[in-house]
C-alpha cells in the first residue's frame, strides 16, 4: 500500500490514467467515473474511462460521456490502456470479479491501483484505498477525495458537480435512504452551487423512459408480483421471454424491485431476472434486515444491508424456488 502523499506526488505531474467501474454500471458508477474524469483532465492528465460493459441510455448524457470506452466493444484498445496506465482508479467496486474479464488486465497491470468504494469486504488488490462503508455513494467519496484529500474543491466545476450529483442522487434513492446524512446534504448543496442543475438531472435519469419500459413495469406489477404476507416479503420474477417481449435494454430493469418494497408492511423485496447466461437477483430491505447476507450466503453476491445483489447459474425456476425456500429461515427477522 502507498500513502496519500505518495499518490499526491504522482498526481502532481501529467499521468496516463484509466478509470474503471463495475459491469453494467449504474448512476453512481458512471457519475463517479465521469466526475473524476472531468476533474483529472483539468490537471492535465491523459485520462480514459473504461467500462467493462454497456450501460443505460439514461446515463449517456453525462458530461464527456462520448469519451467512455466499452471493453466488450474495444477489447484490444482497453487492454493497452490498462497496461500502459500509471494509475488505475477502481470505482464503486472492491473485488476484481466485478469487472469481468477486465479484472485480469487490471490485476496484472503495473500501474498504481486506487480503490474508491463504499462496499463491504474489499478483496485487497489495491495500492491505495479511499473507502468508507458508511458513505451513501461512491460519488460522495469522490467529492471527499477531490475536495479534502487533494484539496482541490475549486476544481469541482459544473461538469464534475453534475456527474457527482447524479451518483449521489441515484445511490441514495433520491435522498431517502437511512445513510443520507446532514453532511451529504451539505455536499449536495455545494454541488448545486457549482452548477449541478438538480431538476434537470432528475429529469434526465427518471423521466426519460421508453414506452416499452413503462409497459414492462405495468406488466411486472400486474402479472409478475407475488406477496408473501407470512414473511413480509414481495417478489417479482422476469423471464428471458418477458425481457424480449418488451425489448428491455440495459438498465431498464433498474428500480423495479423498489416498487415491491413500497408495499405497506413489506420488509424484503426481491427481483429475479433470467439473463442469457445466468439468473440475477436484486434484493432490497428496510430496517435492520440483512439483504446482503442472503445474497452472500446463497447467491454468490453481497452488497449493502438494505441493497444487495447476487447471481446463480441454476435454472430460472430453481432459483425462484430456492429463494422462496430460504424465507422460513428468516421469518423471525422479517416479522419483527
pTM for this model (two decimals): 0.91
What is the per-residue pLDDT across 176-198, written as a single tens digit (0 to 9) for each?
888 999 999 999 999 999 999 99
- Per-residue CA distances from 87 to 208, 241, 261, 295 (Å): 35, 43, 40, 32
Final residue belonging to a domain, choices 180, 206, 232: 206
pLDDT at position 277: 87
Residue 285 contacts residue 255 (beta carbons within 8 Å):
no
How far is the C-alpha of 4 from the C-alpha of 187, rounded, in Å?
22
Residue 336, pLDDT > 90, answer no
pLDDT at position 257: 96
Residue 125 contacts residue 106 (beta carbons within 8 Å):
yes
Number of H-type helices and E-type strands within the chain: 14, 12
User: 72 and 110: one domain?
Assistant: yes
pLDDT at position 250: 87
- Picking from 19, 295, 37, 28, the residue whose alpha carbon sits closest to that of residue 179 is 28
User: 52 and 81: one domain?
Assistant: yes
What is the per-residue pLDDT across 241-277, written as a single tens digit (0 to 9) for each?
999 999 999 889 999 999 999 999 999 999 999 998 8
Local structure of residue 154 (DSSP, 8 states): G
pLDDT at position 189: 98
Q: How many domains does the chain have?
A: 2
Final residue belonging to a domain, choices 155, 182, 206: 206
What is the per-residue pLDDT across 72-116, written as a single tens digit (0 to 9) for each?
999 999 999 999 999 999 999 999 999 999 999 999 999 999 999
Task: Supply the range of the domain harboring residue 69.
Answer: 4-206
pLDDT at position 83: 98
Sheet bearing 68-70, strands edge to edge = 68-70, 46-51, 16-21, 87-91, 112-117, 128-131
User: 133 and 150: one domain?
Assistant: yes
Final residue belonging to a domain, choices 172, 188, 206: 206
Query: Phi/psi class of residue 156: alpha, beta or left (left: φ > 0; alpha: ψ in -120 to 50)?
Result: beta
Average pLDDT on 122-135 reads 96
- For residue 148, give the CATH number of its domain: 3.90.1640.10
User: 114 and 171: one domain?
Assistant: yes
Average pLDDT on 281-289 reads 95
User: 73 and 150: one domain?
Assistant: yes
Question: By CB neighbour count within 10 A (0-12 exposed, 13-18 middle, 19+ buried), where does 28 fall?
Answer: buried
Average pLDDT on 309-321 reads 97
* % of the chain at pLDDT higher than 90: 94
Geometric angle at alpha carbon 91, from 86 and 95, rounded to 5°: 95
Mean pLDDT of the chain: 96
pLDDT band at 157 (very low <50, low <70, confident <90, very high): very high
User: 225 and 201: one domain?
Assistant: no
User: 187 and 41: one domain?
Assistant: yes
Amino acid at each position: 500500500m502507498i500513502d496519500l502523499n505518495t499518490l499526491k506526488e504522482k498526481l502532481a505531474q501529467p499521468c496516463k490514467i484509466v478509470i474503471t467501474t463495475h459491469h453494467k454500471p449504474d448512476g453512481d458508477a458512471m457519475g463517479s467515473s465521469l466526475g473524476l474524469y472531468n476533474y483529472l483532465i483539468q490537471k492535465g492528465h491523459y485520462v480514459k474511462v473504461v467500462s467493462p460493459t454497456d450501460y443505460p441510455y439514461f446515463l449517456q448524457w453525462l458530461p464527456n460521456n462520448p469519451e467512455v470506452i466499452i471493453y466488450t466493444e474495444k477489447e484490444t484498445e482497453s487492454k493497452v490502456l490498462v497496461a500502459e496506465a500509471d494509475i488505475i482508479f477502481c470505482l464503486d467496486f472492491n473485488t476484481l470479479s466485478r469487472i469481468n474479464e477486465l479484472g485480469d488486465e487490471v490485476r496484472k497491470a503495473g500501474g498504481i491501483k486506487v480503490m474508491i468504494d463504499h462496499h463491504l469486504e474489499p478483496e485487497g488488490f489495491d495500492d491505495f484505498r479511499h473507502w468508507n462503508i458508511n458513505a451513501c455513494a461512491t460519488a460522495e467519496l469522490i467529492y471527499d477525495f477531490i475536495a479534502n484529500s487533494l484539496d482541490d474543491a475549486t476544481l469541482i466545476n459544473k461538469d464534475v458537480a453534475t456527474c457527482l450529483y447524479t451518483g449521489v442522487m441515484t445511490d441514495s434513492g433520491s435522498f431517502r435512504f437511512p445513510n443520507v446524512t446532514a453532511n451529504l446534504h451539505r455536499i449536495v448543496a455545494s454541488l448545486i452551487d457549482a452548477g449541478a442543475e438538480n431538476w434537470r438531472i432528475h429529469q434526465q435519469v427518471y423521466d426519460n423512459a421508453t414506452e416499452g419500459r413503462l409497459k414492462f413495469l405495468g406488466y411486472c406489477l400486474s402479472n409478475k408480483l407475488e406477496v408473501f404476507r407470512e414473511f413480509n416479503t414481495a417478489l417479482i420474477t422476469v423471464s428471458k421471454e418477458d425481457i424480449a417481449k418488451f425489448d428491455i435494454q440495459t438498465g431498464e430493469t433498474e428500480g423495479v424491485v423498489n416498487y415491491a418494497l413500497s408495499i405497506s408492511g413489506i420488509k424484503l423485496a426481491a427481483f429475479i431476472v433470467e439473463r442469457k447466461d445466468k439468473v440475477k437477483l436484486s434484493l432490497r430491505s428496510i430496517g435492520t434486515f440483512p439483504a446482503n447476507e442472503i445474497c452472500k450466503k446463497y447467491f454468490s453476491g453481497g452488497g449493502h444491508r438494505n441493497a444487495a445483489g447476487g447471481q446463480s447459474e441454476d435454472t430460472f425456476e430453481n432459483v425462484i424456488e430456492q429463494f422462496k425456500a430460504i424465507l422460513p429461515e428468516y421469518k423471525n427477522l422479517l416479522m419483527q
